[in-house]
Amino acid sequence: MGRGKARAVSSVRQRHLNIHIQGWLLALPAVVLLAAFTHIPAIKTVIDSFYSTPHGVRPARFIGLTQYQSLIADPIFWRAFTNNLLYALITVPLAIGFALVMALWVNGRISGRAGLRLAFFTPTILPMVAAANIWLFFYTQDYGLLNKIGRALGFASVNWLGDQATALPSLMAVTVWKEAGFFMIFYLAALQQVPPDLYEAARMENASRWQVFRRITWPMVMPTTLFVGINALINAFRVVDQVIAMTGGGPDNATTLLLFYIYQVAFSFWDLGYAAALSTVLLTGLAAVALAQFFLIDRKVHYR
C-alpha cells in the first residue's frame, strides 16, 4: 500500500520532470535560432560600438565612447536623425487619418464599396520596390504624370526627387499611399465591433455627424488607433526600401534615413564599429517605443 503510493508519487514527479524537459525540447529550435539571430547579435551590436573597426591586420580595439563622439559630431547622422523624425511625425498621423476616413467610407452604405476597398487596399499588397519604381515614373521631371498635370494647370515642372525641398516629402507620399490602406482594415474591423445601439441612441438624440464621430466612433476605435500608431511608428524608423530604390539618400543626404545610413556605413563604407554605434541608437529608439507600448497600450486596450 505505502509502496504503491510512493511509486505513484514518483511517477507523477517523473511526468512533471518530463514536462520540463519536453517543454524545453519543443522550444529548443526556436530558442537556438532566436538567440543566434536576435539576442546575441543585439548584444554584440552594443559591444561592437565600443570598439574600433578592424582594418586588415589591425584588429578591433576598445575605444570607449569614441564612436559615439564621432556620431555626435557627424552632420550626416543628425541629418538622418531629423529626416527620420520628420518622416515619423508626418507619415504616421497622415496614414492614420487617411485610414480612418477610408474605413468610415467603406464601412458606410456607399455605392461601390468593393471598388473603394480595392482601390485603397491594393497598394499594400505591392512590394515596396515595385511601388517605388512605379512612383519614380510618376515623379519623372519631363514626362511624369505629376508634372504633366502640374503643367496643364500652369505650374512649372518640379524635379520632385532631385530637389532638396521636395525629395523627402515625395518619399513620404509613397509611404502614406502604401500604409493607409493597410491600417484601414484594422479600423474596419474595429468599426464593425461598435454596438449599433450606440448609434441608435445618438440618432434619437439628433446628434450631428460630427458629434457622433467625436463622442462615439473616435473613443470606440481608440485602441485601434494606439495599436496602428505604434506599428506605424516602428515602421517609420525601419523605412529603407524606397530610399534605396528611389533616391539613394540624395540629393545631398536630403532623404537619408537612419536604417539607410546604417546600411550605407556598414555595406558601402565597411565601417563596422561606426555602423554598430548607429545601430545601437536605432535599437535604443525601438526599445523606447516598446516600453511606451508596454505602459500605454497594456493599460488602455484591455476592454477590447
Residues in 175-204 at the binding interface with other proteins, rule: CB under 8 A: 177, 181-182, 185-186, 188-189
Site for other proteins in 78-117 (CB under 8 A): 101-102, 105, 108, 110-112, 115-117
Site for other proteins in 137-166 (CB under 8 A): 137-138, 140, 143-145, 148
Q: Which of 171, 158, 147, 141 is nearest to 250 (CA)?
A: 171
CB of 81 to other proteins, least distance (A): 15
Residue 172 interacting with other proteins (CB under 8 A): no
Reading the block at residue 271, the C-alpha cell is 565601417
Q: What is the dihedral of CA 136, 139, 140, 146, to 10 degrees?
A: 140
- Closer of 24 and 155 to other proteins (Cβ): 24
Site for other proteins in 255-284 (CB under 8 A): 259, 262-263, 266-267, 272, 275-276, 279, 282-283
- Closer of 50 and 120 to other proteins (Cβ): 120
Close Cβ partners of 202 (under 8 Å, ≥ 6 residues apart)? 211, 212, 215, 216
Q: Is residue 235 within 8 Å of 225, Cβ to Cβ?
A: no
Residue 12 interacting with other proteins (CB under 8 A): no
Residue 277 and residue 49: Cα distance in Å, rounded? 4
Q: What DSSP string describes 259-286?
A: HHHHHHHHHTS--HHHHHHHHHHHHHHH
Among 8, 36, 89, 201, binds other proteins (CB under 8 A): 36
Residue 31 interacting with other proteins (CB under 8 A): yes
Residue 264 and residue 251: Cα distance in Å, rounded? 15
CB of 42 to other proteins, least distance (A): 5
Residue 229 and residue 225: Cα distance in Å, rounded? 6
Binding mask 227-246 for other proteins (x = CB under 8 A): x---x--x---x-xx--xx-
Among 6, 118, 201, 296, binds other proteins (CB under 8 A): 118
